[in-house]
């Protein structure tokens, strides 16, 4: 690089007086100063320094993450043996496993619906253009980011301790985490809406709440619904593992089977999860396409 | 002349270093069509936004029928706005709602929140909305979704909204700039008719002098944020 590069019109380059090669408008008759074809030595040095720092950080990350190709290599025969034992899939307890899958689906659906209910007031507070209390904007943002920042898995872990084992703990975990995610995406969708129709409604003498209900919501409803469907689909996928912390569903069976090295059963469970997730993804995508 | 419907004094607005509106004084009587003529960027939209208080002016007074409007807040501001109908260049209809539902926006002020939320406007208001749509020539389009209407039809819906609102003043910001010439004339004809039939006071910003001359009772000019009088532009 470097040979062809003319100084880029980036703000960084133009703002620095040191790289003053960007010509000002030439006075009449005077030739423009030549633009050097190579980047300056200082600029090239900076680029290589950045590259070296990046490489060092990445190497440190590989080391801390304990990456070892040798151990992967040693583990391969074990994986192969397990894979061989997974066939044929164990269908003897299919009805139990299907019930557990239904539990996962129910947990995700109910959890997302609870999350949506919590998200309604939160997203209104966190959207600048509709917030009834602008001084609550940053607290609301902070609160929903906290909910979003703690995974449903972590919430479920805590709720298992509080309300006991089973899908209800999963429902509560999904509800809290998803409330944050839905509120964030909803508030962004509301902030992105064009202000014109709401301004027109406001000028009829309507209160802000009436404007939101009559003019703004109909405009954003397709985006809000699409976001809700996406969160549902996402949580059906994510909640397959909630059973690992004891929060019910197919994940519980998965963990038990892996612990007991019943790989034919694990294989059946994975097939069920795959079928369920594919079906839900397609259904959700189909529904979202129909929104206009 | 009786007390003007709309009167401003010293209305000013600055955006950063740009003085968008300077000391604007404007008076509009009932039944009067006042055009504000100026090129884009001259401050017409700033005037419109300050008159509606969709943007707060930095200074100045606005009086509606003699009552101060410039300092109102909250409920009182909303109540006073019932007297001001608006028409925008970009129509600004609620795209996914029907023509009738858009016209019923004009009844939001007196309608209780539960009715708005349930979408159940009072039968009297619905009748008024239908009449307003019929009056602008859209009797066949009651249930047509707004975003499926043509530009001229959408602007007629916006005017019908003002009619249903029973506002005494109509503020129109470049209402025909997005329309073809024939449609533009019919829309201005409609607005002009309302000044005569309903005694509406109209402030309408435009950039085509010939349209201003044809429809306005009085033409003001706008240049670099300053209002002026167009010499010899009154048609009485």
Q: Which two tokens stand for residue A4?
A: 């062809």
Q: Is B118 on the interface with A (CB under 8 A)?
A: no
Q: How would you classify the pairing of strands B84-87 and B169-173?
A: parallel
pLDDT tens, chain B, 236 aa long: 567 899 999 999 999 888 999 999 999 999 999 999 998 889 999 999 999 999 999 999 999 988 999 989 888 999 999 999 999 999 999 999 999 999 999 999 999 999 999 999 999 999 999 999 999 999 999 999 999 999 999 999 999 999 999 999 999 999 999 999 999 999 999 999 999 998 999 999 999 999 999 999 999 999 988 888 876 544 44
Instruction: Indicate the length of chain A as a whole number.
Output: 292
Q: Model's pTM, two decimal places? A: 0.77
Q: Residue ranges of the domains in chain B? A: 6-83+167-229
Residue B68's DSSP bridge partners are B63
Mean pLDDT of the A233-251 span: 87
Give Cα A89 distance to the centre of its chain: 33
Cβ distance B106 to A200 under 8 Å?
Answer: no
Cβ distance A215 to B119 under 8 Å?
Answer: no
Which residues of B fall within a CB distance of 8 Å from A200?
Answer: 86, 88, 92-93, 105, 158, 161
Residue B223's DSSP bridge partners are B226
d(CA A264, CA A85): 6
CA angle A280, A281, A282 (to 5 degrees): 90
Q: Is B116 on the interface with A (CB under 8 A)?
A: yes
d(CA B228, CA B219): 9
Residue B15 phi, psi (nearest 5): -110, 105
Q: Residue ranges of the domains in chain A? A: 94-289
Cβ distance A98 to A273 under 8 Å?
Answer: no
CATH topology of domain A94-289: MetI-like fold (1.10.3720)
Whether ipTM exceeds 0.95: no
Give Cα A159 distance to the centre of its chain: 22
The alpha carbon of residue A137 is apart from the nearest alpha carbon of chain B, in Å, by 20
Q: Is B90 on the interface with A (CB under 8 A)?
A: yes
d(CA A133, CA A136): 6
Q: In 3-state terms, what secondary structure has residue A36?
A: coil
* A3, pLDDT greater than 60: no
* A10, pLDDT greater than 60: no
Nearest to A203 among B84, B93, B111 (CB): B84
Nearest to B94 among A206, A207, A219 (CB): A219
CATH 3.60.15.10 fits domain B6-83+167-229: no
Percent of residues in chain A assigned helix, strand, coil, to nearest 5: 75, 0, 25
Contacts of B135 (CB under 8 A, 6+ apart): B160, B163
What confidence tens digit (pLDDT) does each residue in A132-143 have? 888 999 999 999
Mutation pick from B48, B78, B165 vs chain A, by most beta carbons of A within 10 Å, is B78
The alpha carbon of residue B215 is apart from the nearest alpha carbon of chain A, in Å, by 24
What confidence tens digit (pLDDT) does each residue in B57-100 have? 999 999 998 899 998 988 899 999 999 999 999 999 999 999 99
Cβ distance B191 to B137 under 8 Å?
Answer: no
Percent of chain A with pLDDT strictly greater than 70: 87
Q: In 3-state terms, what secondary structure has residue A176?
A: helix
The alpha carbon of residue A77 is apart from the nearest alpha carbon of chain B, in Å, by 60
CB contact under 8 A, A219 and B96: yes
CB contact under 8 A, A200 and B79: no
The pLDDT-based confidence of A31 (bands split at 50, 70, 90) is low
Percent of residues in chain B assigned helix, strand, coil, to nearest 5: 35, 25, 35
Buried b (16+ CB within 10 A) or exposed e, A249-263: bbbbbbbebeeeebb
What is the reported pLDDT for A34?
A: 67
CB contact under 8 A, A214 and B106: no
Closest CA to A107 of A163, A176, A167: A167
Give Cα A212 distance to the centre of its chain: 27
d(CA A234, CA A111): 12
Q: In 3-state terms, what secondary structure has residue A245?
A: helix
Q: Is B111 on the interface with A (CB under 8 A)?
A: yes
Q: Which two tokens stand for residue A50?
A: 């950045």
Which residues of B fall within a CB distance of 8 Å from A197?
Answer: 92-95
């Amino acid at each position: 690089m470097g040979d062809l590069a003319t100084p880029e019109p980036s703000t960084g380059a133009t703002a620095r007086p040191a790289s003053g090669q960007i010509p000002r408008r030439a006075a009449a008759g005077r030739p423009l100063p030549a633009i050097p074809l190579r980047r300056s030595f200082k600029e090239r040095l900076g680029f290589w320094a950045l590259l070296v720092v990046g490489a060092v950080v990445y190497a440190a990350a590989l080391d801390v993450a304990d990456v070892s190709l040798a151990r992967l290599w040693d583990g391969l025969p074990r994986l192969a043996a397990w894979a061989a034992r997974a066939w044929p899939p164990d269908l003897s307890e299919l009805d139990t496993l299907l019930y557990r899958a239904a539990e996962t689906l129910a947990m995700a659906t109910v959890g997302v619906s609870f999350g949506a209910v919590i998200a309604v007031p939160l997203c209104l507070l966190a959207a600048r253009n509709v917030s009834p209390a602008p001084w609550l904007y940053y607290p609301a943002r902070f609160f929903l980011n906290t909910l979003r920042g703690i995974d449903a898995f972590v919430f479920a872990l805590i709720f298992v301790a509080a309300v006991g084992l089973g899908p209800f703990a999963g429902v509560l975990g999904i509800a809290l985490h998803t409330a944050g995610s839905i509120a964030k995406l909803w508030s962004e969708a509301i902030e992105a809406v064009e202000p014109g129709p709401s301004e027109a409604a406001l000028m009829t003498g309507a209160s802000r709440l009436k404007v939101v209900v009559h003019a703004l919501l109909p405009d954003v409803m397709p985006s809000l619904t699409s976001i809700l469907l996406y969160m549902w689909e996402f949580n059906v996928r994510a909640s397959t593992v909630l059973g690992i912390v004891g929060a019910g569903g197919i994940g519980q069976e998965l963990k038990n089977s892996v612990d007991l090295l019943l790989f034919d059963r694990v294989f059946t469970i994975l097939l069920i999860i795959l079928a369920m997730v594919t079906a839900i993804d397609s259904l959700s995508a189909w529904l979202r396409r129909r929104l206009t | 002349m009786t007390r003007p419907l709309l009167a401003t004094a010293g209305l000013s607005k600055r955006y950063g270093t740009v003085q968008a509106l300077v000391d604007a004084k404007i008076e509009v009587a009932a039944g009067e069509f006042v055009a504000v003529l100026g090129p884009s960027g001259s401050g017409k939209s700033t005037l419109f936004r300050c008159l509606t208080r969709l943007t707060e002016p930095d200074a100045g007074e606005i009086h509606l029928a003699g009552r101060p409007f410039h300092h109102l807040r909250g409920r009182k501001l909303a109540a006073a706005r019932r007297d001001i109908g608006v028409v925008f260049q970009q129509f600004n209809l609620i795209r996914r709602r029907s023509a009738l539902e858009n016209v019923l926006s004009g009844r939001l002020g007196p309608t209780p929140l539960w009715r708005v939320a349930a979408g159940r406007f009072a039968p009297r208001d619905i009748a008024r909305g239908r009449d307003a749509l019929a009056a602008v020539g859209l009797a066949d389009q009651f249930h047509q979704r707004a975003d499926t209407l043509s530009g001229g039809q959408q602007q007629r819906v916006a005017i019908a909204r003002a009619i249903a609102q029973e506002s005494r003043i109509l503020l129109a910001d470049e209402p025909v700039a997005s329309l073809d010439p024939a449609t533009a004339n019919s829309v201005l004809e409609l607005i002009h008719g309302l000044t005569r039939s309903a005694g509406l006071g109209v402030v309408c910003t435009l950039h085509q002098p010939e349209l201003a001359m044809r429809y306005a009772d009085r033409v003001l000019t706008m240049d670099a944020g300053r209002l002026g009088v167009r010499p010899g532009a009154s048609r009485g």
